[in-house]
Structure 1
Amino acid sequence: MKFGIVIVAVLVLGIGPLRAWEPARPAQLSPATSSPQLSRSVWDGVYTAQQARRGALRSGLCVPCHGADFEGDSAAALTGPVFTAKWNGKTIGDLFELINKDMPNDDPGSLSRQQSADYLAYILLANQFPAGKSELTIDIEMLKQIRFEASKP
């Protein structure tokens, strides 16, 4: 009986090392697990001017840490080349999550999803990304499909 177990163990364990000699295959993702194409960017007018105005009206909450012009004070700048370089290649969803979960510094997570979207719209306007005809959504999956691109493609 032990002899049979040994043979099975040798066969099972022996096959693994043999597979190491197979040529490498590219990783394949099933359609359900592949990431969605990021077809939109901040340059496509992903917020409205009215939404940015709502964010501007409430922006006093940001000023104590980020400065009156969002150029940074006790916290990082929200405008300018350092800010856009930091977020370049990420998604609007990433920035939205940061705002929604971590801001304001003295009361993290207290902003509604709509307030976070309005602040984000104002930040986009302050960085001279164009406004569009549709408001920035509060749906995180949709926001994760919008690329942050520092310079216009």
Structure 2
Amino acid sequence: MTMRKMPLILSIAAALAGTALAQDAGKSVWQGVFTADQADRGSAVYAERCGACHGAALNGTGEAPALVGGEFVSHWDTMTVGDLYDRVRTTMPQNDPQSLSREDYADVLAFLLKNNGFPAGAQPLDRRSEVLATIGITAEKPASTGS
């Protein structure tokens, strides 16, 4: 193997290992990663800034996809809450991306997680992408979640 190929291979291996660590060593959405109060705050923000496009019941309208249900959860299955947070924060609302505070985006995510059947916990969902990247999203509830 040439010396030029080695850094590329190491970079790919590091990226794959980082993703695996985020999902294996970190938390899971099944462990209560947001609070009920935070989801309630997120409900108000969602109604004001997201509901017109995604629907009051999160079922989607027109071209805006549903944010609740099997298709939504399976799309994000094996990814992290950080992936979802970054997507929402950088692209939504579609007519004014990045216009909410990081706290509001975290609150809306808590609302989405709650409405997709994930349990609330004692600590609010963090607003930092690097912390959220350690929380794995899995569609199926693990046999043992610690909650």
TM-score by length of 2: 0.80
Q: Could you say which structure has the higher helix fraction?
A: 2
Among 62, 77, 90, the alignment partner of 1:101 is 90
Read off the aligned partner of 1:96 and give its amino acid letter. Answer: Y
Which residue matches 1:83? 72
Among 135, 140, 144, the alignment partner of 1:146 is 135
Rounded to whole Å, the distance in 2 between the matches of 1:116 and 1:58 is: 9
In 1, are the aligned partners of 2:42 and 2:109 still within 8 Å (CA)? yes
Structure-to-structure mapping, 1:37-56, within 5 angstroms: 37-38=22-23, 39-56=26-43
Q: Gaps (5+ residues) in structure 2?
A: 3-8, 143-147
Which residue matches 1:62? 50
Q: Gaps (5+ residues) in structure 1?
A: 1-14, 17-26
Counting matched residue pairs gives 127
Among 102, 107, 113, the alignment partner of 1:124 is 113
- Cα displacement (A) at 1:135: 0.4
Rounded to whole Å, the distance in 1 between the matches of 2:134 and 2:22 is: 7
Structure-to-structure mapping, 1:17-56, within 5 angstroms: 34-35=17-18, 36-38=21-23, 39-56=26-43
Residue 71 (str. 1) matches residue 59 (str. 2): yes
Which residue matches 1:7? none
- Using CA pairs below 8 Å that are at least 6 residues apart, which structure has the higher relative contact order? 2
Read off the aligned partner of 1:42 and give its amino acid letter. Answer: V
Rounded to whole Å, the distance in 1 between the matches of 2:61 and 2:53 is: 6
Q: What is the identity percentage for the equivalent residue pairs of Structure 1 and Structure 2? A: 42
Q: Which has the larger radius of gyration?
A: 1
Which segments of structure 1 move beyond 6 Å, counting only runs of 4 or more?
none
Among 135, 145, 151, the alignment partner of 2:124 is 135
Read off the aligned partner of 2:50 and give its amino acid letter. Answer: C
- Cα displacement (A) at 1:67: 0.9
TM-score by length of 1: 0.77
